[in-house]
A and B are shown apart, each in its own frame.
Chain A
Amino acid sequence: SYLLTQPPSVSVAPGKTAAITCEGINVASKSVHWHQQKPGQAPLMVIYYNGDRPSGVPERFSGSNFGNTATLTISRVEAGDEADYFCQVWDSTNDHVVFGGGTKLTVL
């Protein structure tokens, strides 16, 4: 089955840029979506179709998807961005949704 690999943790200082990667074989052939989950809360979609932003999500959040790596980029990181981030695709070969293992973003 299809596999998405994320780093377990990323740390960044406030005001800097955080990049969270999501690796999968030829992931660029799929649409990647990103979800943010803060402690005790339900997930919230922050990027869909690789780089589109839902209404209400700050422009500081952006996404890209090339080759075997999709990336969620958060610019001018704020303390409130501290959360777990999950990438997600639809695996049409197996008719399954696949989530990455998640990345904990820590704001130093």
Chain B
Amino acid sequence: QVQLVESGGGVVQSGTSLRISCAASGFTFGSYALHWVRQAPGKGLEWVAVISYDGSSSYYADSVKGRFTVSRDNSKSTLYLQMNSLRPEDTALFYCARDTDATVTNAALDYWGQGTLVTVSS
């Protein structure tokens, strides 16, 4: 069965960096686009970034563009999110989610991980 397991979250100081990961199993990792979506405590879902099946294209939310970088290692079935210049407003549960397509055309997110919590203190 499809599994997405996020890791690497923690408590960090404002202005610092953190890299979180999403390990995938149960499907052909290199055939699907993947997304990061975050949820601040008590709030709704906020899309963060997406990367195509081969890593050749990626897109970002305006709130993280220039600070966050999404990447993937298809040989390790792992998705990454490098987060730089973190701010208190980045505090959230970060989910990875699988797209139904290899490239982003309609962004149907059919499987979600359980999330990893990132807390940015001021």
Contacts and interface: CB of A to CB of B under 8 A. Distances in A.
Interface of A: 1, 30-31, 33, 35, 37, 42-45, 48-49, 54, 84, 86, 88-90, 95-102
B29 interface: no
B44 A90 contact: no
Task: Report the 7 A-B pairs with minimum CB-CB distance, sorted nearest first.
Answer: A90-B107, A97-B47, A31-B106, A48-B108, A95-B59, A102-B44, A42-B112
Contacts, number: 67
B113 A96 contact: no
Given A1-B62, A42-B95, A33 B47 contact: no
27 contacts: A1-B62, A31-B108, A37-B45, A42-B95, A42-B113, A42-B114, A43-B37, A45-B108, A45-B109, A48-B110, A49-B106, A84-B44, A89-B107, A95-B59, A95-B104, A96-B47, A96-B59, A96-B61, A97-B35, A97-B37, A97-B50, A97-B109, A99-B37, A99-B44, A101-B44, A102-B44, A102-B45
- Secondary structure of the A contact surface, majority rule: strand
Nearest to B93: A42
Nearest to A99: B45
B73 interface: no
A100 B43 CA distance: 12
Interface string B34-76: 0101000000111100100000000101100000000000000
Contacts of A97: 35, 37, 47, 50, 107, 109
Contacts of B108: 31, 33, 45, 48-49
Contact of A35 (B45, B100, B113): B45
